[in-house]
Amino acid sequence: MAAGAALGVFFPDAERALHGGWAASDLKLLSDLFIRMIKMIIGPILFATLVVGIAGHGDDLKKVGRLAWRSLLYFEVVTTVALVVGLAAVNLARPGDDPALTTALAAAAEAAPPELVAPKGVADHVREIVPTSFIDALAGNNVLQIVFFSILFAVALTQVTGEPKRAILGFCEGLAEVTFKLVGLVMRFVPIGVGAAIAVTVSHSGIAVLLPLLKLVLTLYAALVVFVVVALVPVALAARVPLRRFWDAIRAPALIAFSTTSSDAALPLAMERMEQFGVPRRIVSFVMPTGYSFNLDGSTLYLAVASVFVAQAAGIDLTWGQQAAMMLTLMLTSKGVAAVPRASLVVLSGTLAAFGLPLAGVTVILAVDELMDMARTTVNLVGNGLATAVIARWEGEAGWDERPAPPPALPPLAPSLPTVGVAA
């Protein structure tokens, strides 16, 4: 990461635009290769671990229903806290109260709007949970559709007995083990992929562009820190999760998420590390991928900050009632945000349009969105890792409580024979 940042500083895009030659953004190929290698194993690992986790534990489907209900309840409570923290931070700091931002917003309104996918309604999000083809869901790495199909497949497998069930379970167990080994191979490329991603980010971002928006970036980072302190840490303490061991487990996936701005890039390693931490595979394989659609704490907090920021920059004073309505809207629309870079901008554009705020605000935020995406993606990843530990405690299956058995006592030594000393 340090080497990538240095390359971005000494070989920026702006320098190439003036004098030509090489720039750090040319390293984007290496970053893209790393993310593509990670994404190619997401589908197989989700399918295999979910099927084994559900169908491999007998026919007690009540456990699956209880796990789903508890996960969704936890997700809703934590994301609501994230929204409240985000709204409080943006109202206290008021990063949009800057004449330069108002001017930039007016200029952006006259330019062509950014090319974003049209925002979708609640019905569209619900409809897209069910895949028309499992192969298409795998090809597009649609996590929620893969989870939906895998759960139904596993439930159907519990109704099968005999050799067919054993054969399918054996295949899925083997697929999971091989895929985790493949994760280990891909992780050898992490230093190159992470360094290249940081180099591209630093090369793109110029200081002149960042200064008017620096207060927005600092507001988001401060709000995320407050959220971790007032929400995630107390939850971890209440669930008796050892913070030091948890951080040791989640640290490497969090750095990958920070540098690549993609939760997907960190998903396979995060699942492996949380299982090593002591969370059962059936909980990790269900809670973490589901949380990628329903428990994006960092992205939810960012949406609250960015929405009010645009209103402030446009000189529009939102009442507390309007902000509460906006919070309720974001609670619904933030579910299903894809775990890929800049997907939150789609939800943001829909929220701005719904409340009559200028869509040009998205263009203004784009200048620093990558820096903010790094922080919110990291919080998303850490929050979902903690969710697996909390649900494991709630289910009474916290594996980190188990202490390794002491080594067997050594047998008594046989009487030693007399030895003869030799003078040096």
Q: What is the pLDDT of residues 173-210, one digit of tens each?
A: 888 888 878 877 877 887 887 788 777 767 765 454 45
Determine the pLDDT at residue 142: 77
Q: CA–CA separation, 277 vs 360, rounded Å?
A: 45
The phi and psi torsions of 301 (rounded to 5 degrees) equal: -60, -40
Question: Which of 77-91, 173-187, 238-252 is predicted least confidently?
Answer: 173-187
Residue of 22 and 83 predicted with greater confidence:
83
Determine the pLDDT at residue 339: 47
pLDDT at position 390 over 90: yes
Percent of the chain with pLDDT over 70: 80
**Triad 377, 378, 383: Cα angle to 5°:** 100
- pLDDT tens for 336-364 read 555 445 567 767 777 787 787 887 777 77
Contacts of 283 (CB under 8 A, 6+ apart): 53, 67, 388, 391, 392, 395, 397
pLDDT at position 416 over 50: no
Q: CA–CA separation, 43 vs 299, rounded Å?
A: 23
Determine the pLDDT at residue 319: 84
Which fold would CATH assign to domain 2-397?
Proton glutamate symport protein (1.10.3860)
Average pLDDT of span 219-227: 94
CB-neighbour burial class of residue 290 (10 A; exposed 0-12, middle 13-18, buried 19+): buried
Residue of 389 and 101 predicted with greater confidence:
389
Q: At what angle do helices 143-158 and 61-93 cross, to 10 degrees?
A: 160
Average pLDDT of span 71-99: 88
Report the predicted TM-score, pTM, of the whole model to 2 decimal places.
Answer: 0.72
Q: CA–CA separation, 393 vs 361, rounded Å?
A: 42
Long-range contacts, stretch 174-180, CB < 8 angstroms, 24+ apart: 175/44, 175/47, 175/48, 176/45, 176/48, 176/49, 176/52, 176/281, 179/41, 179/44, 179/45, 179/48, 179/268, 180/45, 180/268, 180/272
Determine the pLDDT at residue 212: 65
Residue whose tokens read 């067997």: 408
For residue 42, what pLDDT band results from cuts at 50, 70 and 90? confident
For residue 295, what pLDDT band results from cuts at 50, 70 and 90? confident
Percent of the chain with pLDDT over 90: 19
For residue 402, what pLDDT band results from cuts at 50, 70 and 90? low
pLDDT at position 265 over 50: yes
Q: DSSP 3-state assignment of 296?
A: coil
Determine the pLDDT at residue 289: 81
Domain boundaries, the chain: 2-397
